[in-house]
Amino acid sequence: MSEERPVDVALLRKFSPLDGMKKENLLALARKIGISQLPASRTLFKEGDRDKLTYWLIAGLVELREGDSTVAMIRGGTAEARNPLSPKLPRKMTARAVDPIEYLALDSELLDMMITWDQTGTYEVAELQAHLTGTVGDDWMTTLLQTQTFHRIPPANIQAIFMRMQRMNCREGEIIIQQGAEGDFFYAIVSGKCLVTRETPLNRGGLKLAELTVGDTFGEEALISEAKRNATVTMLTDGVLMRLNKKDFRELMNEPLVQWIDYPMARDVIARGGHWLDVRLPSEHQNLAIEGSLNVPLYFIRLKISTLDRTRPYVVYCDTGRRSSAAAFILVERGFDAYVLRGGLDAAEGALRRNA
């Protein structure tokens, strides 16, 4: 495999589900992915592999095999190549390059997270800005959603976290966290910069550990571990912080109050008059879906909620549970009886409909 070449937004839009993402988020994604090459007769992945990568074929011909049988021949640039190659884990097929190929490979969890925020972010920011009056733009929110700390938080809890945050106007030199103190708040920087230092027996003045800026967070370690603060954080400039108290932080780091059910239970709900609700993008739904499911992409849930039947339960699904849990929480908040299919499409393999 050769070194990766840069990729542009126009190329990413040729593939599902990337074709449904906003330009600014595709630009961010383009910085995390590149075009890779593989010589003819080499294997891209093997049946049974569990590598958490999503692959798209750009150019060349790939053979997909199950055991000793050829299942499909996929050529770059065709309609079949718009969708990821054998995305389910463990891999159902082996992919072998017949010609020299060019392809994209992206961490599957990063892809799922970015699609979820792409579809919820616009609404979240619009609603939150009305609440957080006086904050400096929404750059800090967008940046915060992409941090590792927020990757661990269930999507349905994000809005609640922002709504419970308290605004702090801070001055240059102000100590926000003191080393050795009890942990009480989680902080996010809206504007300005902070300095992180740690006092040691040999350096009472404090060793400089890091400088933090807009979108950076701090203070979660002591809240998670119930330990004392292990560093001091001081404002380097005037700025604005948002803080979340320990009780809310610990509560909202856990799953929201949505109901997860396995496939047999989901079938019972459907048998009692429920509906399957697929909240993935239309291109994903068209390629693979549960028979008879209704497709309302996550980013349309709020707009289309009046078209849903409040008298019947919904079993919401996506690929992994990230988008469906966010959608179910929105429905439950608005009085619907909604469940999340645990395991996503993998759990319903026997009921899947594939389109040619």
Q: How far apart are CA 130 and CA 116, in angstroms?
A: 22
Neighbours of 119 (CB within 10 A): 26
Is the dihedral angle over the CA atoms 24, 161, 335, 325 positive or is it negative?
positive
Domain ranges of the chain: 9-106, 132-252, 259-354
Per the rule left: phi > 0, alpha: psi between -120 and 50, beta: everything else, 258 is: beta
At 202, give phi and psi (nearest 5°): -95, -10
Same fold, 9-106 and 259-354: no
Active site residue 318: yes
Under a CB-based contact definition with an 8 Å cutoff, are residues 62 and 73 in contact? yes
Residue-wise pLDDT tens for the chain (356 aa)?
456 788 999 999 999 999 988 887 888 788 888 999 999 999 999 999 999 899 999 999 999 999 999 999 999 999 999 999 999 889 999 999 999 999 999 988 888 877 877 776 544 444 444 445 444 455 566 666 666 556 656 666 776 777 788 889 999 999 999 998 988 998 988 889 999 998 877 777 778 888 998 878 888 767 765 668 878 999 999 999 989 898 888 777 655 557 899 999 999 999 999 999 999 999 999 999 999 999 999 878 877 888 999 999 999 999 888 788 878 877 886 789 999 999 888 888 766 765 53
Q: Are strands 217-218 and 185-191 parallel, antiparallel or unpaired?
A: antiparallel
Q: How far is CA 201 from the centre of its chain?
A: 42
Under a CB-based contact definition with an 8 Å cutoff, are residues 150 and 222 in contact? no
Catalytic residue among 269, 318, 338, 348: 318
Whole-model pTM? Answer: 0.59
Sheet holding 275-278, edge to edge: 259-261, 338-341, 314-317, 275-278, 294-295
Q: How far is CA 113 from CA 9, 39, 191, 227, in A?
A: 18, 31, 25, 30
Q: How far is CA 152 from the centre of its chain?
A: 9
CATH superfamily of 132-252: Jelly Rolls (2.60.120.10)
- Determine the CATH number of domain 9-106: 2.60.120.10
Which residue is it, tokens 């060019």? Answer: 102
Task: Indicate the class that CATH gives domain 259-354.
Answer: alpha beta
Q: How far apart are CA 210 and CA 200, in angstroms?
A: 16
